[in-house]
Amino acid sequence: MTAALAPVESRPASTGETDTRHSNTFLRLKKKLERGVGEAIGDYNMIGNGDTVMVCVSGGKDSYTLLSCLLALRERAPVDFRIVAMNLDQKQPGFPDHVLPQYFESIGVEYRIVTEDTYSIVKDKIPEGKTTCSLCSRLRRGIIYRTAKEIGATRIALGHHRDDMLETLFLNMFFGGKIKAMPPKLVSDDGNHVVIRPLAYCTEADIARFARAMDFPIIPCNLCGSQENAQRKQIKTMLQGWAREHPGRIESLATALKNVVPSHLADSRLFDFVGLTRQTVVEEGDTAFDPLELPQPASATIRLMMPGADD
Ligand code: SF4
Q: What is the pLDDT of residues 56-76, one digit of tens each?
A: 999 999 999 999 999 999 999
Q: What is the pLDDT of residue 293?
A: 66
Identify the CA nearest to 30 among candidates 299, 243, 214, 218. Answer: 214
Q: What is the pLDDT of residue 303?
A: 40
Sheet holding 82-89, edge to edge: 111-115, 82-89, 52-56, 155-157, 194-196, 185-187
Pairing label, strands 52-56, 155-157: parallel
CA 229 to chain centre: 17
Nearest CA to ligand 1 atom 7: 224
What is the chain's mean pLDDT, rounded?
88
Q: How far is the centre of ligand 1, averaged over its atoms, from the C-alpha of 148 (Å)?
A: 21
Name all domains of the chain by residue range, CATH numbers in brackets: 8-245 (3.40.50.620)
Question: Which atom of ligand 1 approaches the CA of 224 most closely?
Answer: 2
Find out whether 69 is annotated in a ligand binding site.
no
Q: How far is the centre of ligand 1, averaged over its atoms, from the C-alpha of 58 (Å)?
A: 11
Identify the band that residue 302 occupies on the pLDDT scale cut at 50, 70 and 90: very low
Q: What is the pLDDT of residues 164-211, one digit of tens each?
A: 999 999 999 999 999 999 999 999 988 999 999 999 999 999 999 999
Q: What one-letter code names the amino acid at 95?
A: F
pLDDT over 70, % of the chain: 87
Q: How far is the centre of ligand 1, averaged over its atoms, from the C-alpha of 106 (Å)?
A: 27
Q: Which residue has the higher pLDDT, 223 or 204?
A: 204
First to last CA, the chain: 32
Give this prediction's pTM.
0.86
Does residue 288 register a pLDDT over 50?
A: yes
**Residue 132 Cβ contacting ligand 1 at under 6 Å:** yes
